[in-house]
Amino acid sequence: MKSLVGLFLVLAVLVLIPVLESAFAAGDEPGEYLDRRVIIWNLFFRMMTVAFVVGAVVSGTLIWQCWRFRESHPQAKPTKYEGTDW
């Protein structure tokens, strides 16, 4: 049952994406004068800012976890399912 729901979820997304794309695609209404270089650079700059922030947070979390939960940490405790006496 669960896999059926998952399958239909995937299928629904596959149908939805083209529908949304055609709904939001450039229509016939005229555009305004703009500098492609500025639009494209701004997009790139914002995406890269987000990418580097996310990268720093994720790698920072991983590094902190490795440091904090190492066996030699002064406050390290064995978990129940390790079943060892420290």
User: Which of 81, 86 has the CB closer to another protein?
Assistant: 81
Task: Specify the stretch interacting with another protein by CB under 8 A; choose among 7-15, 26-34, 63-71.
Answer: 26-34
The whole-angstrom separation of Cα 73 and Cα 75 is 5
Q: Which two tokens stand for residue 78?
A: 């064995």
82 in contact with another protein (CB under 8 A) = no
User: Which of 1, 34 has the CB closer to another protein?
Assistant: 34
The whole-angstrom separation of Cα 21 and Cα 16 is 8
Q: Are 16 and 8 in contact (CB under 8 A)?
A: no
By the criterion CB under 8 A, which residues form the site for another protein?
Answer: 24-27, 29-37, 39-40, 42-43, 46-47, 50, 54, 80-81
